A and B are shown apart, each in its own frame.
Chain A
Amino acid sequence: SQQGEEDPQALSIQEGENATMNCSYKTSINNLQWYRQNSGRGLVHLILIRSNEREKHSGRLRVTLDTSKKSSSLLITASRAADTASYFCATYTGANSKLTFGKGITLSVRP
């Protein structure tokens, strides 16, 4: 069963706008990760945030984690057409090194 649930399922924005995607999960985690998948390709790791961190930045990416609400958000600033992809959150509980993925968010960035 899915641990992470992303919201919204689909997002369409104009180039230059910010994109915010949310993920909620059910059980305690060791860390939470976000991945991107371009059409027809494998997933690519974007960023990892540990359970004792609240915010992390990487280039145009900003991820937050609220363990009390069991939720995370991924913000992509100044979006580009090349950011068009599906985005997945994945939770790591530490058990057997398994990641549990959500169903993904489809982001479309219009030029």
Chain B
Amino acid sequence: DAGITQSPRYKITETGRQVTLMCHQTWSHSYMFWYRQDLGHGLRLIYYSAAADITDKGEVPDGYVVSRSKTENFPLTLESATRSQTSVYFCATQGDPYEQYFGPGTRLTVT
């Protein structure tokens, strides 16, 4: 089915571990985004990508790494997870004209 999917939906990991959150879209939209959502902060942009092999930092990029080798995939990696990275993570794509389409989210808990 067309759309945007995220995996896993829920993840519990320990401090210091590396974890990768996956995002996949079937629309071939150029732009893709990663946000984190925390109480009191709303949505904050972590990284975004304008096309395959083009990525850029958002508002809160520290501790995260992204890659985009294919248009349809935009994984987000936490290199060494910290408790402050406990959050809900949303991936989004941008369609025409400017609206964004969000995935269902990944709830990450770092213990």
* Chain A contact residues, CB within 8 Å of chain B: 1-2, 30-31, 33, 35, 40-45, 48, 88, 90, 92, 96-104
Contact = CB atoms under 8 A, between A and B. Distances in A.
A34 to B, nearest CB: 10
Interface of B: 31, 33, 35, 40-43, 45, 48, 50, 56, 58-59, 90, 92, 94, 97-105
A45 B35 CA distance: 15
Most buried by B among A42, A48, A96, A104: A42
B42 A102 contact: yes
Nearest to A46: B99
Nearest to A103: B42
A92 B98 CA distance: 8
A30 B101 CA distance: 19
A33 B98 contact: yes
Contacts of A97: 31, 48, 50, 94, 98
Nearest to B101: A45
B105 A42 contact: yes
Nearest to B103: A42
Most buried by A among B41, B94, B100: B100
B49 to A, nearest CB: 10
A98 B98 CA distance: 9
Contacts of B41: 103
A45 B90 CA distance: 14
B100 A88 contact: no
Contact of A88 (B43, B92, B97): B43
Contact of B48 (A40, A48, A96, A102): A96
16 contacts: A31-B97, A42-B90, A42-B105, A43-B100, A43-B102, A45-B101, A88-B42, A92-B98, A96-B56, A97-B31, A97-B50, A97-B98, A98-B48, A99-B100, A101-B35, A103-B40
